[in-house]
Amino acid sequence: MKHLAEQLREIGCEVLADEPMAAHTSFRIGGAADLFVTAQNEEQLAAVRRLCACNGVPLMLVGNGSNLLVSDAGIAGVVLQLESAPPTFDGTTVIAPAGLSLGKLCVAACEQGLSGLEFAYGIPGTVGGGVYMNAGAYGGELAQVIRRVGVMTVDGTVTVLSTEEMAFGYRHSVLMEQPMTVLWAQLELTFDEPAAIRARMDDYLNRRREKQPLEYPSGGSFFKRPTGYFAGALIEQCGLKGTAVGGAQVSEKHAGFVINRGGATCADVMELCHLVQRTVRDACGVELEREVQLIGR
């Protein structure tokens, strides 16, 4: 790993050894990554992939870590993050780099008088992570505005996928089955008055603040929405609001969130997750599926 770290620094990447993943996830939970690497462009990304393959070291990409729960034992190998870059505009067409935060993208689109992304304002992820899981909220999702996605395959080849090839579904894309890395997304938006766009963005953000426990670290909505139900409503119906295991707790503000009240471990969160799943299954006959991704050793 020391030799690989030297190679990665030689190609211009920032490299942190034994870096706690708690510092890179919205849950503020997770052991250390052997190497945490930041790549600035496609060339560095391809080089990192090549060097990891040549050294037999596993590689994992992350965005803002807003939908991740990292093992207490950390992550073996290299964790790679793409540096943020600004979007580019051509009329109603937007090219959004993978490392750009969704919040900054929404603000930039608003300044250009472009509507269609208001629902994403307040989602604490990156474009790459949002595309990967087809992020959405308040009836909107990225698949509605995406037209093409630039990706890099495991051998470093850059290709472009259409919306159909992305196979978007509820919190799903083809990238969950195929090991490709998002480089950028091409979006098609519509013109509107910036003031009207901003008002809708602020409305969505205010709704989040009123209903969601944003004052605590979390991974966002912890469970996917079961067909015909709402996960939070089922959990509340089962009397689980406020239930805690160690530092992890079902939010008293919104039962669909598991929060880190302080010092929570991955083990705490997963024990609480299993408790919630068992209780809801036994009481309601509904299987809750995690939306938050569990990664690491």
Q: Which pLDDT score, from 0 to 100, does residue 22 have?
A: 97
Q: 9 pLDDT band (50/70/90 cuts)?
A: very high
194 phi, psi to nearest 5 deg: -55, -40
Q: Is the pLDDT of residue 154 over 90?
A: no
- What local confidence, expressed as pLDDT, does residue 148 receive? 97
Structure tokens at 278: 């068992």
Cβ within 8 Å of residue 227, ≥6 positions away:
none
Angle of CA points 191, 195, 198, to nearest 5°:
90
Domains of the chain: 2-82 (3.30.43.10), 88-201 (3.30.465.10), 216-295 (3.90.78.10)
Distance CA 31, CA 239 (A): 32
**If pLDDT is split at 50, 70 and 90, which confidence band does 156 have?**
confident
Please determine, for residue 296, whether its predicted confidence score (pLDDT) is greater than 90: yes
CA atoms within 13 A on the CB side of 269: 29
Q: Is residue 25 predicted with pLDDT exceeding 90?
A: yes
Sign of CA dihedral 131, 292, 224, 202: negative
Mean predicted lDDT score pLDDT of the chain: 95
Going 199 to 200 to 203 to 208, the CA torsion angle's sign is negative
Strand (E) positions, the chain? 14-20, 32-39, 59-62, 68-70, 75-82, 88-90, 93-97, 114-115, 136-137, 140-141, 146-152, 158-162, 181-188, 190-191, 218-221, 244-245, 248-250, 257-260, 293-295
Active site residues: 171, 221, 291
pLDDT of 284 higher than 90: yes
pLDDT value at position 124?
86
Name the least confident of 165-169, 206-210, 292-296.
206-210
Confidence of residue 64 (pLDDT cuts 50, 70, 90): confident
Q: Which of 121-125, 152-156, 218-222 has the highest mean pLDDT?
A: 218-222
Exposure string (b/e) for 195-226, b if CB count within 10 Å is 16 or more? Answer: eebbebbeebbeebeeebbbebbbbbbbbebe
pLDDT band at 265; cut points 50, 70, 90: very high
Q: What pLDDT digit, counting tens, does each position of 75-122 carry?
A: 999 999 999 999 999 999 999 999 999 999 999 999 999 999 999 998
CA 295 to chain centre: 12
Q: Which tens digit of pLDDT belongs to each residue from 29-62?
A: 999 999 999 999 999 999 999 999 999 999 999 9
- What's the pLDDT score for residue 10? 96
Measured between alpha carbons, how far is 69 from 269 in angstroms, rounded to an integer? 9
Q: What is the pLDDT of residues 189-216, one digit of tens each?
A: 999 999 999 999 999 999 999 999 999 9
* Whether the predicted pLDDT of 295 surpasses 90: yes
Angle at 204 between CA 203 and CA 209, to 5 degrees: 95
Q: For residue 178, what is the DSSP state?
A: S
pTM: 0.88
Place of tokens 């067409």: 93
* Closest alpha carbon to 116 in 150, 146, 148, 96: 146
Give the integer Cα–Cα distance in Å for 265 and 213: 18
Structure tokens at 175: 């990238």
Average pLDDT over residues 140-153: 96
Per-residue pLDDT, averaged over 168-194, amounts to 94
